[in-house]
Amino acid sequence: MDFHELIHKRQSCRCYDAARAVESEKLNAVLEAARLAPSACNGQPYHITVCHGDSARAVAKATMGMGMNKFAADAPVMLVISEEAYVKSAAVGARVKNNDYRSIDIGIVTAYITAAATEQGLSTCILGWLDDQKIRTLCGLSHPVRLVITLGYAKEGDPLREKKRKTADELISEIR
């Protein structure tokens, strides 16, 4: 699958096959892509906690407040992305330039994870609606949880939806 096929195929899955486990080699390929993702000063100011089984179900439940993300209960793997401290050079740059490099880096690693999962035939959904304290306790984390990514196989017949995005004219401008 080339890159353009991949970006057209990737979508937020909300219908997982709960009976189908994610193979270790596919999960490892996704995690290796995450490990190689670029970050400010190569500092990787995040940690990825991989949850399976009862742990995945408990994390999924911690994303379901107010009736949200009910589909997460069927995802066999939950990837918890927590924020870690900056390396010194990135901390200085963030302070001097008043820029939140950690959030940028978490966005980049998330894009790598979701693209690599799609390449492996897996589906994902990025969840920002979550109970930080509950997930920290479940995963033994001391730093804030920023995202949870569901990971698994979409149920057979789950259709590829039309992408609803801004037009290029609305999104892009050029200055020459």
Pairing of strands 145-152, 123-127: antiparallel
| pLDDT tens for each residue of 153-164 | 999 999 999 999
Judged against a pLDDT cut of 90, whether residue 176 lies above it is answered with yes
Q: How confident is the model at residue 1 (pLDDT cuts 50, 70, 90)?
A: confident
Judged against a pLDDT cut of 90, whether residue 71 lies above it is answered with yes
SS (H, E, C) 116-155: HHHHCCCEEEEECCCCHHHHHHHHCCCCCEEEEEEEECEC
Judged against a pLDDT cut of 90, whether residue 84 lies above it is answered with yes
Instruction: State the pLDDT at residue 109.
Output: 98
Neighbouring CB atoms inside 10 A of 80's CB total 26
- Average pLDDT over all residues of the chain: 97
Q: What's the pTM?
A: 0.95
Instruction: State the pLDDT at residue 15.
Output: 97
Q: Is 84 helix (H, G, I), strand (E, B) or coil?
A: coil
Lowest mean pLDDT among 83-92, 123-132, 167-176: 83-92
| pLDDT tens for each residue of 106-153 | 999 999 999 999 999 999 999 999 999 999 999 999 999 999 999 999
Q: What secondary structure letter does DSSP report for 166?
A: -
Residues with Cβ < 8 Å from 174, sequence gap 6 or more?
A: none
Instruction: State the pLDDT at residue 119.
Output: 98
Which of 72, 53, 48 lies closest to 62 in space, CA to CA? 72
Instruction: State the pLDDT at residue 65.
Output: 96
| pLDDT tens for each residue of 46-61 | 999 999 999 999 999 9
Q: Measured between alpha carbons, how far is 148 from 154 in angstroms, rounded to an integer?
A: 17
